[in-house]
Structure 1
Amino acid sequence: MASIFTKIINREIPGQIVAEDDHHIAFLDINPLVEGHTLIVPKKEVDYIFDLSDEEYVALQLFAKKVAAGIKAAIPCLRIGVAVIGLEVPHTHIHLVPLNDMDDINFSRPKLNPSAEELSQTKEKIAEQL
């Protein structure tokens, strides 16, 4: 069964896509820790990040680096935090989280619940920087 991320990649369900290339996609987390919280996902459905080939792993990180620069330019923050947890969806993904405080990347705190319009506005701000 396809992961929810594969369904976004295949446009079977909507996603606020900020960047995409032939092998990767970046879209906003619908329940972000902070505004601009973005997921970086390989289009190839692989559950565990360290099961990617070396080439796929490096390409994913380079794509994440490019998107992180766009997020930092669009969302006021000190830097972009990176987290790879991988337990909630069985499809490799990297969380990019704008940071102004260490607590901004605390996954045990309550998540935000932005409206579809707020997510769309954030997507546009980031996409314009990429």
Structure 2
Amino acid sequence: MRKLIAISALAIISACVSSDPEAAAERRQALIQQIFPALSDQQGIGLVFPIESGGFYSSLEIIYYKNEVSESEIIRRTSNYCAAHTGNTSATLKRRGSLTEVPHSDGTKHPAAQIWLSCFN
């Protein structure tokens, strides 16, 4: 029975994970669009990883391209998201991650930064 459960779990996980870079880029873009529906707010963002709390995404991990958008602009965009969902008019910077290079689907790498923001203090 345990073996059957393990095999079933592995099959489910394998079905959800894709090694196709184009499919991965589409999933990342769908998440970005979900949080930032305006096309202008999507500019310069490589990944948005929402963290749910209280029935909505109250915290966000964002990886953005430093040569396309500033940290202050990312905070401003996230503040607008927070205002629409909580009434709080400012996002709080919780942590900065390390600087890195993120590959695009075309294989080129771009300098990126990672930050965690919250709609609550």
Q: Which TM-score band (shorter chain)?
A: 0.3 to 0.5
TM-score when normalising by structure 1: 0.41
Pick the structure with more strand per residue. Answer: 2
Larger radius of gyration: 2
Kindly indicate whether structure 1 or structure 2 has the higher relative contact order, using CA contacts under 8 Å at least 6 residues apart: 1
